Amino acid sequence: MRTARVFRLSMAHPGDLSALEELIDRGTIRAAEVVAVIGKTEGNGGVNDFTRGYFTQTLMALLSRYLNRPVTQLIREIPCVLSGGTEGVMSPHYSVFCIADNATAERRFPSALAIGTAFSEPVPTEDVGRRAHVESVASAVREAIENARIERLDDVHFVQVKCPCVTAGRAAAAITAGKTPRTSDPNRSMAFARAAGAFGVALALNEIAPGDFDDESLLSDFSIQSPRASISSGVEVECNEVVVLGNSSAWDGSLRIAHRSMSDALDIGAIVDVLADLGIEARPQVAPAAAGRIACVLVKCEPDRRGKVRGHRHTMLDDIDINAQRHIRGAVAGLVAGVIGEGRIFVSGGAEHQGPDGGGLIAVIASQQKAGA
């Protein structure tokens, strides 16, 4: 049976993969087992955040060295999903997802963490944020679910997609070529790309039907949402990269995943509840021993478009000095880190259509405990 393992590693800067290198050198991880990486780098998370490209280049060069396969091939096989911006108490880190086949292992739990990945074709600039983009994502998500051998869609808990977006330069090039990008504004484009990703996940998970939306629904009809979609967007990718996480009886392993919707940026209850789903108590903070069971924390959040949080005006959307996504990441990470008791959490902004409007989602991977343990 297949076993999933997750290693959460710190970095000194976006080009520092020494922690992974050490684990490979020590034999803890075999390079061939690495199937995906999800991490937080210390950039600004915007169009001009190159910490993601820097990390990716370094990771792929490292794996290329160990695997003796060209970088150009690896970047089409191993999703590397990075969210820039470690505002406030967040700590730059990356989670390495590994799959091993351990034929002889005694079965420990009825089901366990399952991982699947997929890559779409490149998305043309003029498709970004439109139905063609949605369908491209949906198709890749379905492929990843199949790869993960997850039989029931209910057992999918987290679908990470990294979508390409439009820079000012790409937009200009498309226009010159007679195409009409959905927008030439890079930040706006990132938002449309995230919306397309969320619609694609919702479509693949049967949360919506193909007739439920058209191009105009993106960034407009916020009743359409997937509570299991986590979408990033960045200049450094050209196709949609997908990582599906769920639980499956086809997998053995000690890890398990759960998720909850966050109704808004103050929804501490969702954090406590998702931990409870995994048998971890927070009163008010997870005790150090239990915290050791937590392998990965994945959060999406969003500055409320309507300008208020629980009835009181916030200033995130009107701030010219700090991008609204940086604001909300810092706030929600402060809350999640306070409950969890540490800052190595993946909190990503831009949660349009990913969970309730103005809220988002939280997923946690933790080791299971045997009954009676």
List, by residue number, the catalytic residues: 162, 232
* C-alpha–C-alpha distance, residues 23 and 286, integer Å: 27
Q: Is 326 in the site for a second copy (CB under 8 A)?
A: yes
Of the candidate residues 99, 272, 294, 364, the single one contacting a second copy (CB under 8 A)? 272
Provide, rounded to whole angstroms, the least separation between the CB of residue 120 and a second copy.
22
- Closer residue to a second copy in complex, CB, 142/260: 260
* C-alpha–C-alpha distance, residues 373 and 368, integer Å: 10
Range 227-266, binding a second copy (CB under 8 A):
235, 265-266
Structure tokens at 312: 């009181």
* C-alpha–C-alpha distance, residues 140 and 118, integer Å: 6
- SS3 of residue 286 by DSSP: strand
Write the interaction track for a second copy spanning residues 187-206; mark x where CB under 8 A is met and - where it is not: x-------------------
Range 54-83, binding a second copy (CB under 8 A):
54, 57-58, 61
Provide, rounded to whole angstroms, the least separation between the CB of residue 332 and a second copy.
6
Structure tokens at 93: 């880190």
* C-alpha–C-alpha distance, residues 327 and 310, integer Å: 17
Of the candidate residues 78, 128, 196, 339, the single one contacting a second copy (CB under 8 A)? 339
Binding residues for a second copy, rule CB under 8 A, total 84
Of the candidate residues 111, 167, 249, 369, the single one contacting a second copy (CB under 8 A)? 167
Q: Is 177 in the site for a second copy (CB under 8 A)?
A: no
* C-alpha–C-alpha distance, residues 115 and 3, integer Å: 9
Range 80-109, binding a second copy (CB under 8 A):
86-93
Burial of 124 (0-12, 13-18, 19+ CB in 10 A): middle
Q: Is 284 in the site for a second copy (CB under 8 A)?
A: yes
Angle between helices 131-147 and 186-204 (to 10 degrees): 50
Q: Is 50 in the site for a second copy (CB under 8 A)?
A: yes
Of the candidate residues 13, 30, 152, 179, the single one contacting a second copy (CB under 8 A)? 13
Q: Is 180 in the site for a second copy (CB under 8 A)?
A: no
* C-alpha–C-alpha distance, residues 43 and 87, integer Å: 9
Question: Segment contacting a second copy (CB under 8 A): 102-110, 112-120, 161-169, 292-300?
Answer: 161-169
* C-alpha–C-alpha distance, residues 150 and 250, integer Å: 8
* C-alpha–C-alpha distance, residues 142 and 128, integer Å: 20
Range 108-137, binding a second copy (CB under 8 A):
none
